[in-house]
Amino acid sequence: MDGNAQKETCRAPAPGPDGFVPARPRVVLALAVLVLAGMAGFCLALYHSLTAVRPVDPADYPGAAPEGFRWEAAVSREDGRAVFTGWACVEGEPFPDVDIRVVLYHAEDGAYYSIPTQMTPDEAATAAVADGRGYALGGFTAVVPEKVLAHPLAEYEICIAYRVGGFDFLASTGKTAEVTG
């Protein structure tokens, strides 16, 4: 291969009849890799944000649980994670919007921790209240890896942070996060 042939392969592509100069394949590949890496980084940051255990200030929930507040919660273990399932509702009240979170309270530290909670319809709420209204939207599932908790699971009390309709309260259930069964 002579020097002129090598120079030919290093040149930028010639512009087309409309003046458009196509990008070099290596540049396109490098940009695609950068875009994919950026998207992966964003997805990881979003995943961490959505699954992180966060401290909660009880003052952020200024209301008190009303007389008709009902709840049910069960705790199980799956692969080193504590899984909370259940429901919460206020009797006679609709669900125009739903924001229910499982919060763990550690009495010795006086600290509250919100754990990632997903709303999952649960007809058990409707059956338990049995007033002819639908409460299934109050169902939840919350998952937390036990390794991220500072204390053993059984030392935490389950609380319910409830922001539905005009209600805004943090309710103590009096139930520990102990796995039963």
Segment 120-170, tens digit of pLDDT = 888 888 888 888 888 888 899 999 998 888 899 999 999 999 998 889 999
> Measuring CA to CA, which residue among 180, 179, 169, 181 is closest to residue 56?
169
- Which range, of 21-35, 51-65, 143-157, averages the lowest pLDDT? 21-35
Strands in the chain per DSSP E? 54-56, 69-78, 81-90, 100-106, 111-115, 117-119, 139-145, 156-164, 167-176
Lowest mean pLDDT among 38-47, 63-72, 109-118, 145-154: 38-47
Q: Which of 130, 134, 140, 145 is nearest to 163 (CA)?
A: 140
- pLDDT on residue 31: 85
Other CB atoms closer than 10 Å to residue 130's CB: what's the count?
Answer: 9
**Bridge partners of 137?**
none
Pairing mode, if any, of strands 69-78 and 81-90?
antiparallel
Q: Is the pLDDT assigned to residue 83 strictly greater than 60?
A: yes
Q: How far is Cα 66 from Cα 71, in angstroms, rounded to an integer?
A: 12
Question: Side-chain half-sphere of 111: how many Cα atoms within 13 Å?
Answer: 11
Cβ atoms of 162 and 70 closer than 8 Å = no
**Predicted pLDDT at 9:** 56
Largest Cα–Cα distance of the chain, in whole Å? 91
Show the tokens assigned to 90.
């206020």
Evaluate whether 111 touches 171 at the Cβ level (below 8 Å): no
pTM of the model: 0.73
Q: How many residues does the chain have?
A: 181
Nearest residue to 158 via CA among 134, 140, 131, 181: 140
